[in-house]
Chain A
Amino acid sequence: MAVLNFLEAVRETLRAEMRRDKDVWVVGEDVGKKGGVFGATLGLFDEFGDQRVQDSPLTESAIVGVGIGAALYGSKPVCEIQFADFIFPAFNQIISEAAKMRYRSDGDWTVPMVIRAPFGGGVHGGLYHSQSVEQYFTSTAGLKVVVPSTPYDVKGLLAAAIRDPDPVLFFEHKGLYRAIKGEVPEGDYIIPIGKADVKRDGTDITVITYGKAVHFCLEAAEELAKEGHSALVLDLRTLLPLDREAIMTAARKTGKVLIVHEAGKTHGIGAEVAALIAEECLFDLDAPVQRLCGPDIPAMPYAGPMEKFYMLSPEKCLEAMRTLAQF
């Protein structure tokens, strides 16, 4: 058992999968000698060479489109979009092509590929290096959308994504890369895509979240416990497909639900989770479902005070959790 940070877990999983399967290759901007702007592919170029760790031109649509072509041929590309904010030139390839290929060809043609992208704010990245873009993709059937929160989950979910028969968007909160460390078993393991995880059990309120907010909520839950309220923290881990059973079980257990995410509130993941709970669990509830989300503004501002205003924090989470617990 090794202790790795989040970024190291990404890198070591890529390395292990590339060793395991020669059809797996990495492509993106600066992923070669430089090892990626965050270092996610550091050292892979030396081990696997310039074909399997391929620097792309500065063309996101091509990174994904060429990846789709390679996947159609039977190889397994892991495409890196340098920042999730830059994924939009590839939107057409993802939505019109990757997501619809299996469906439109009656299963004759499939796209087993992974698109990795660092997302999220709190790193002084301004409007275009801070966004949470997952909500643009989670309404598109045919895609899978995964957002891990721990190094252990990174390994199991990234391995699962690479071996998945369909296109998987794998969003890594860049604020976790070096901030979060955890034990990662050395052997091969898979965490099934589509399975949420109870990161902390509790009895009074249920907090449903994902990404970096998981850690804020866990920290807040510690504080809340000192005040005498027990919080269950459910980490969604996969946003598409949603783990409906886990959401309903967690909602019914405490009867009070708070949904927390950094992405904007309107038409967000929280809206879908809340609707599911309203449809299936209304008579198990003891309080209205609450949401703590990013504000409905175009993106995260650069200046420190405004960035802090946008970002979630343990304090903001604690306040929302306390209010719900006291309802």
Chain B
Amino acid sequence: MTANTQARHEALGLTRDQLLEMYYYMLLTRRIDERLWLLQRGGKIPFVISPQGAEAAQVGGAYAFRRNQDWFLPYYRDLGINLVAGVTPREIMLSAFARRSDPSSGGKQMPNHWGNRGANVVSGSSPVTTQLLHAVGIAQASRMRGDDVVVYTCCGEGSANQGDWHEALNWAGLHNLPVIFMVQNNQYAISVPLEKQVAGGSIAARGKGYGMPGVQVDGTDLLAVYEAFKEAHDRAMRGEGPSLIEALCLRITSHSSDDDQRRYRSAEEIEAMKAGDPLTKIKHYLAEHGLLDDAGSAEIDVRVKAEVDDATEWAESQPYADPEFALSQVYGEG
């Protein structure tokens, strides 16, 4: 960096410490996911579904929100969103091991069906985009009470074809509600590529039809994502309504641990993703601007590894719920 040009993060009002914290969350997201794959392949947990290739989109997006004030309705890949919102690695691992103290569900739900009351992360399900309507309802109810809340919700590009997706954007646009809709476009809906899923080729362009700005952003570029979300969040707080952000991401892993993407993607295509890895990009940025040297980088690596080790060992040692727990929480006290 030369003395007379401002670095991009500074132009966005981010300090070195903030940027390093974002990097830490991206790395934590990646390392937790890598550990989950090891655990799955080792037969210790049944299922994994990954954020790899979307860490910049998730952490850059989440960073524009206010922890413990704004609300989050993420989708199943949104590990990074959860971590920035305040969910701990131990809590993530409890869910992966389906233990009784898993805050999402006590082990009833599959992993990545997030839910954390303390972090304003609302319980989600498997049918896609149902949560977008919940996000709109939360925004509506919070406005009725005069509360200052901005709502995050997200899905993949394949899901942007669901009826609920369109109904949610229409409703949010009609009422000018403070909701930020993110679509993490990783080019594949399991095995079906974008060109066979999305008419017109652009999710962002759909925003205009619902009366809100729709922007497309490089989802592997942490600062670009943060900038788009900061602007959308500022708009929401000014009462200017919803935004749609399409983040172009990578899907480095197969859809899930039950999928093998080598059956429908070429080896060259899979290999080419390495060059665009968001973690590589941000590490390069940090080095280029003299923000993180090798020693500092190693320090973060050690810290993240220790947290992942601790979370894994601790969560595995926690008990399952009793079988009869299956009968609990069908109805509340009338």
Contact = CB atoms under 8 A, between A and B. Distances in A.
Interface string A91-132: 011001100111111111110000000000000000000000
Contacts of A39: none
Interface stretch (A62-70, A147-155, A242-250, A274-282): A62-70
Contacts of B329: 102-103, 105-107
Nearest to A52: B144
A190 to B, nearest CB: 10
Contacts of B133: 61-62, 64-66, 68-69, 93
B334 A65 contact: no
Given A62-B168, A66-B171, A69-B141, A102 B130 contact: no
Given A25-B144, A57-B174, A66-B136, A109 B122 contact: yes
Contacts of A73: 137-138, 141-142, 145
A179 B136 CA distance: 39
A164 interface: yes
Contacts of A185: none
A51 interface: yes
Nearest to A103: B329
B115 A166 contact: no
B125 interface: yes
A164 B334 CA distance: 6
Contact of B332 (A59, A110, A194): A110
Interface in B88-109: 103-106, 108-109
B130 A59 contact: no
B333 interface: yes
B164 interface: yes
A105 B171 contact: no
Contacts of A101: 123
Given A69-B133, A73-B137, A57 B105 contact: no
A99 to B, nearest CB: 9
B163 interface: yes
A153 B174 CA distance: 37
A301 interface: no
Nearest to A194: B334
A103 B134 contact: no
A215 to B, nearest CB: 28
A70 B140 contact: yes
B113 interface: yes
A51 B174 CA distance: 13
Given A25-B144, A66-B171, A75-B144, A61 B164 contact: yes
A293 B91 CA distance: 51
B141 A70 contact: yes
B6 interface: no
A264 interface: no
Nearest to A74: B141
Interface in B103-139: 103-106, 108-109, 113, 115, 117, 122-123, 125-127, 130, 132-139
Interface in B158-203: 163-164, 167-168, 170-171, 174
A108 B103 contact: yes
B167 A100 contact: no
A156 to B, nearest CB: 14
A69 B136 contact: yes
A141 to B, nearest CB: 5
Nearest to A167: B331
B142 A108 contact: no
Interface of A: 25, 51-52, 56-57, 59, 61-62, 64-75, 77, 89, 92-93, 96-97, 100-110, 141-142, 144, 164-166, 192-194
30 contacts: A51-B144, A57-B167, A57-B170, A59-B170, A62-B167, A62-B170, A65-B132, A65-B164, A69-B139, A70-B138, A70-B140, A71-B141, A73-B142, A75-B144, A75-B145, A92-B130, A97-B134, A100-B125, A104-B108, A104-B109, A104-B115, A104-B123, A105-B329, A106-B106, A109-B122, A141-B330, A142-B330, A165-B333, A165-B334, A166-B332
Given A62-B171, A100-B125, A107-B332, 20 more contacts: A51-B144, A61-B133, A62-B167, A65-B130, A66-B134, A68-B133, A68-B137, A70-B138, A72-B134, A73-B142, A75-B145, A93-B133, A102-B331, A104-B108, A104-B113, A106-B106, A109-B123, A141-B330, A165-B331, A165-B332
